Amino acid sequence: MSTDAMSYVVNDAMVDTDIQGYMLNQSEWNSEIANVIAKSEGLELADEHWDVLYFLRDHYRNYNHSANARLLIKMLTKAWGPEKGGKKRLYELFPKGPARQGCKIAGLPAPIDCTDWHL
C-alpha cells in the first residue's frame, strides 16, 4: 500500500490531500473542488448533498471537529426529520458513509472514528 498523499486537479491547480483523500487545507475548498472530489467518489452532487455538505462545514466551523456518523445522523434527524435527515436517506446520498464521504467532499478532515490508524 502506498503511503503517498494524493491530490485532485481543479482548474489546472493541485489540491493536496492526505493519503485517504481528505483535503489538507480546508480553506481552499469551494464548489468546484467538491464536485471533483464527488466525481472521484462516484457521486454527482444534488441539492440534498449540498445541504449535508454545508451542515458538515458549519458543524466543523462551530466545534472545530468533523461530526462522526452517529452524531451527524442524530443532528440531521432532529433538524430535518427522519425522511430527509435519517440514516437511510443519508446512506442513499453518501453510500460510503455520510460522515466519512461527506467530510471528504466537504473538504474537511476525516471524523475521528473514520481514521485508519493502522496506516
* DSSP secondary structure of 34-81: HHHHHHHTT----HHHHHHHHHHHHHHHHHSSPPPHHHHHHHHHHHH-
Cell triple for 92: 442513499
Using CA atoms, how far apart are residues 103 and 97, in angstroms rounded to an integer?
9
Instruction: Kindly list the catalytic residues.
Output: 114
Count other Cβ atoms within 10 Å, centred on residue 104. 26
